[in-house]
């Protein structure tokens, strides 16, 4: 039997995260975000964080809570359009921001998990994204094309959210909440998983496991998850 990786709660899970660390945070918009761990980090008051995430949450939810309390030094993201406090800190120079094409963000996460130091991508060639970075020319299908070299991420912790998990750290994500969570779970030097439901070992169907427990170091069952809708669009009544 493998190690029991269960910790009591979010506070216990994040207790070793220190000022100045780099964190990967799973989720897309407000879907599949590790909200219990984010709340615990706000409570802990850790400062100077670099956060790698698809987006920066909204003003009163997700990573937006860490921005409100001035705990983030740098954001590495691909979409940041729903957060006024993020915009304010960016424009005033309080927050360092690195914007990355979404596919590049995902692939750099996967490269870390696969143990690859760099990737080559056509995204960003000839733009500000490419400034100061190496490019190389490759032939594919008889066509010559220029590619931008991007480095794999190095993070101290990856913090992900799953639907179900067990004491070994095996995880199943639900529907679109898979988004960035599986690739970030692979990429963390230490990976923390919060789950909606913690089940007995052997209860998860091996064919349905999205993240094997080998990647996960700490797991706990979260509580009071809020199913918030970021953008609500409805039709007018007939």
* Residue 127 shares a structural domain with residue 54: no
Average pLDDT of the chain to the nearest whole number: 93
* Residue 141 shares a structural domain with residue 190: no
Q: Is 231 left (phi over 0), alpha (psi -120 to 50) or beta?
A: beta
Q: Is the pLDDT of residue 2 over 60?
A: no
* Residue 90 shares a structural domain with residue 178: yes
50, part of any domain: yes
Query: Given pLDDT bands bounded at 50, 70 and 90, which one contains residue 1?
Result: very low
Q: What was the pLDDT predicted at 80?
A: 79
* Residue 194 shares a structural domain with residue 77: yes
* Residue 100 shares a structural domain with residue 179: yes
When comparing pLDDT for 83 and 40, which is higher?
A: 40
* Residue 217 shares a structural domain with residue 166: yes
- Count of CB atoms situated within 10 Å of the CB of 137: 8
If one counts the domains in the chain, the total is 2
Q: Is the pLDDT of residue 172 over 90?
A: yes
33, part of any domain: yes
Q: What was the pLDDT predicted at 235?
A: 83
226, part of any domain: no
Q: What was the pLDDT predicted at 225?
A: 81
* Residue 87 shares a structural domain with residue 171: yes
Q: What is the mean pLDDT of residues 131-144?
A: 93
Q: What is the mean pLDDT of residues 89-97?
A: 93
- Domain, as residue range, for 69: 10-117+152-221
Judge contact between 70 and 93, C-beta under 8 A. no
Q: What is the mean pLDDT of residues 133-152?
A: 94
pLDDT digits (tens, 9 = 90+) for 181-237: 999 999 999 999 999 999 999 999 999 999 999 999 999 999 888 777 767 778 887
Q: Is the pLDDT of residue 102 over 90?
A: yes
């Amino acid at each position: 039997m493998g190690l029991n990786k269960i910790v009591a709660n979010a506070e216990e899970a994040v207790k070793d995260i220190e000022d100045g660390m780099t964190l990967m945070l799973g989720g897309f918009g407000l879907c599949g975000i590790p909200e219990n761990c984010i709340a615990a980090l706000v409570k802990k008051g850790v400062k100077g964080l670099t956060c790698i995430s698809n987006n920066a949450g909204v003003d009163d939810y997700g990573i937006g809570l860490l921005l409100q309390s001035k705990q983030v030094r740098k954001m590495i993201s691909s979409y940041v359009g729903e957060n006024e406090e993020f915009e304010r800190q960016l424009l005033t120079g309080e927050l360092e921001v690195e914007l990355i094409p979404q596919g590049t963000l995902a692939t750099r996460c996967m490269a870390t998990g696969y143990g690859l130091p760099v990737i080559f991508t056509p995204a960003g060639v000839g733009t500000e994204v490419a400034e100061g970075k190496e490019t190389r020319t490759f032939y594919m299908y008889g066509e010559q094309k220029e590619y931008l070299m991007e480095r794999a991420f190095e993070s101290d912790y990856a913090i992900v959210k799953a639907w179900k998990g067990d004491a070994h750290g095996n995880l199943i994500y639900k529907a679109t909440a898979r988004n960035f969570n599986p690739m970030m779970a692979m990429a963390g030097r230490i990976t923390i998983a919060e789950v909606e439901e913690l089940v007995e070992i052997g209860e998860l169907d091996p064919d349905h496991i999205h993240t094997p427990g080998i990647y996960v170091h700490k797991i706990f069952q979260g509580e009071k998850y809020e199913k918030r809708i970021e953008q609500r669009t409805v039709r007018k009544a007939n």
